[in-house]
Amino acid sequence: MTLAHARSTSPAPGSGVAAPSHRHGGGLAAGLVVLVGVLAVVAFVSVTLGTRDVGLATIWKAFTDFDPDNTSETVIRELRVPRTLVGLVAGMSLGLAGAILQGVTRNPLADPGIMGINTGASAFIVVSIMVLGVQGLGTYIWFGFLGAAVAIFVVYGVASFGREGATPVKLALAGAAVTAGFYSVTTGVVMTNVDALNELRFWQVGSIAGRYWPVFTQTAPFMAVGVAVALFSGRALNGLSLGDDMAVALGQRIRLTRSIMFVSVAVLAGAATAACGPIVFIGLVVPHVARALCGPDYRWVMVYTALLSPIILLSADIIGRVSAGDGELQVGVVLGVLGAPAFIALVRRRDLAEL
């Protein structure tokens, strides 16, 4: 039984052409080249731009012939590069995790947020702050990771009970229920512990500011594995998106496929959320954008999502850095304020391909 009977109500011939699924592979491949180029430019700008602008030469020197006394070189090497790398990998991870979840649950609302991942991470972080007195990003990042993993395995475990396993409806509802439970833990702690509230309110907006090398080196290996699995899962998701029966008919082992998908989501979203907080926007919205650009074929959706997500995340981070005078706006805020209206415009302009 599909969950997405939120399907368009005019499925008549002629209306289905809105999604450019018929766009041929050549055009899609050219689009990829463009996106890679854009990503390279955005990453470069992210490294050079800021309260202290630097040139290409300084960047080169910071890595080939580092002078610890040169502030510009230090900023590049110790701040901007790791921050950009975290944004790059985390953006990719969040976007792919969202695309996988939407595919597996066949629900446009299913993102790492509703699967309990963000609230799981938040809950573990605030509890670690309250009970263990943990302070500082570098330490509680692991609790965030653990919380995210626990949440998603509980969701999948609950939904897998019963005869036909983890159906989309059960997954969505189990995710909502687990989210609700962890939310209670988090708010319970926050309401009684001012330290935890203070940490949480900055963490939960979502940001890649102040992410130094350790954040990157600790989380990137996990995300790299997850990204690799995700990029090869397009075919499996195409099968699942036809419905469980059809997927079985096509020879898929859907329980196994779903399990693999969930492990990779746990790794991707867990590590990314731990690294930069719950940036819900990327996982929720970018797969829809990708689908609008390349049609419903998940093999393309995954690749487009993988490139679009870091482009959007890093661009928002750059805008946040240069827009707010002396301080800076967190990337989560920029994404909400600029990204949401852009997304709404996109939804209005096209009939988005449905799941």
Partner 1 sequence: MATPTLVQDTDVEHAVGTIQRGRVVRKGRVLGVTTALALLAFALFVATMMVGSFPVTPWEVIASTFRLGSDPSVDFVVRDLRLPVATTALAVGLAMGVSGLVFQKLLANPLASPDFVGISSGAGLAAVGSIILLNVSAMFVSVAALGGALVAALLIYLLAWRDGITGYRFILIGIGVSELMVALTGYLIARADIFEAREAMTWLVGSVGNAGPTQLRILLVALAVLLPLTLVLNRHLDVLELGDDAAKALGANVERMRLVLLAVAVVLVALATAAAGPLPFVALIAGPIAVRLIGANGSGLVAAAFVGALIVLVADLVAQHVVPVELPTGVVTGAIGAPYLIWLLATVNREGRGG
Partner 2 sequence: MTHELRAEDLSLGYGPQDVVSHLDVEIPDGKITVIVGANACGKSTLLRGLARLLAPRTGSVILDGKRVQDLRSVEVARVLGLLPQTPVAPDGITVADLVGRGRYPHQSWFRRWSAEDDAAVAAAMESTGTAELADRPLSALSGGQRQRVWVAMALAQDTDLVLLDEPTTYLDINHQVELLDLLTDLNRRHAKTIVLVLHDLNLACRYADHIIAMKAGAIIREGAPIDVIDAAVVTEVFGLPCEVLPDPVSRTPMIVPRGRHHVPVPESV
**Residue ranges in 268-297 that form contacts with partner 1 under rule CB under 8 A:** 280-281, 284-285, 288
- Name residues contacting partner 1, limited to 182-201 (CB under 8 A): 182-185, 187-188, 190-192, 194, 197-198, 201
Residue reference for tokens 């096509």: 250
CA angle 27, 31, 37 (to 5 degrees): 150
The answer to the question of residue 7 lying near partner 2 (CB under 8 A) is yes
Residue 153: which of partner 2, partner 1, none does it interact with, CB under 5 to 8 A by kind?
none
Residue 201: which of partner 2, partner 1, none does it interact with, CB under 5 to 8 A by kind?
partner 1
Return the SS3 of 327. Answer: coil
Token readout for 82 is 């790791």
Which part of the chain contacts partner 2 (CB under 8 A), choosing from 7-15, 69-77, 113-121, 122-130? 7-15
Which of residues 13 and 133 has its CB atom nearest to partner 2 in the complex? 13
- Name residues contacting partner 1, limited to 72-131 (CB under 8 A): 107-110, 114
Token readout for 242 is 């036809």
Q: Give the residue ranges of DSSP H helices in 56-136.
A: 56-64, 71-74, 81-105, 117-132
Which part of the chain contacts partner 2 (CB under 8 A), choosing from 4-12, 64-72, 107-115, 197-205? 4-12
- What's the closest the beta carbon of residue 10 comes to partner 2, in angstroms? 7
Q: Give CA–CA dist 82/59, Å, rounded.
A: 13
Q: Give CA–CA dist 147/233, Å, rounded.
A: 25
Q: Give CA–CA dist 91/314, Å, rounded.
A: 8
Name every residue whose Cβ is closer than 8 Å to that of residue 247 and which is 6 or more positions away in sequence: 239, 240, 254, 257
Which of residues 63 and 202 has its CB atom nearest to partner 1 in the complex? 202
- Name residues contacting partner 2, limited to 167-186 (CB under 8 A): 169
* AA letter at 212: Y
- Name residues contacting partner 1, limited to 321-350 (CB under 8 A): 329-330, 332-337, 339-341, 343-344, 347-348
Which part of the chain contacts partner 2 (CB under 8 A), choosing from 1-9, 68-76, 96-104, 219-227? 1-9
Please count the residues of this chain forming the interface with partner 1, following the rule CB under 8 A: 71
Token readout for 307 is 């490139």
The H or E element that residue 39 is part of is: helix 25-48
Cβ proximity of 105 and 172 under 8 Å: yes
Q: Give CA–CA dist 326/336, Å, rounded.
A: 21
Residue reference for tokens 């976007």: 95
The answer to the question of residue 202 lying near partner 1 (CB under 8 A) is yes
Residue 96: which of partner 1, partner 2, none does it interact with, CB under 5 to 8 A by kind?
none
Residue 64: which of partner 2, partner 1, none does it interact with, CB under 5 to 8 A by kind?
none
- What's the closest the beta carbon of residue 232 comes to partner 1, in angstroms? 28
Which of residues 11 and 133 has its CB atom nearest to partner 2 in the complex? 11
- What's the closest the beta carbon of residue 12 comes to partner 2, in angstroms? 5
Cβ-count burial of 62 within 10 angstroms (0-12 exposed, 13-18 middle, 19+ buried)?
buried
Which of residues 9 and 64 has its CB atom nearest to partner 1 in the complex? 9
- What's the closest the beta carbon of residue 250 comes to partner 2, in angstroms? 17
Cβ proximity of 117 and 270 under 8 Å: yes
- Name residues contacting partner 1, limited to 149-178 (CB under 8 A): 158-159, 161-164, 167, 169-170, 172-174, 176-178
DSSP state letter for 108: T
Q: Contact residues for partner 2 (CB under 8 A)?
A: 1, 5, 7, 10-15, 17-18, 169
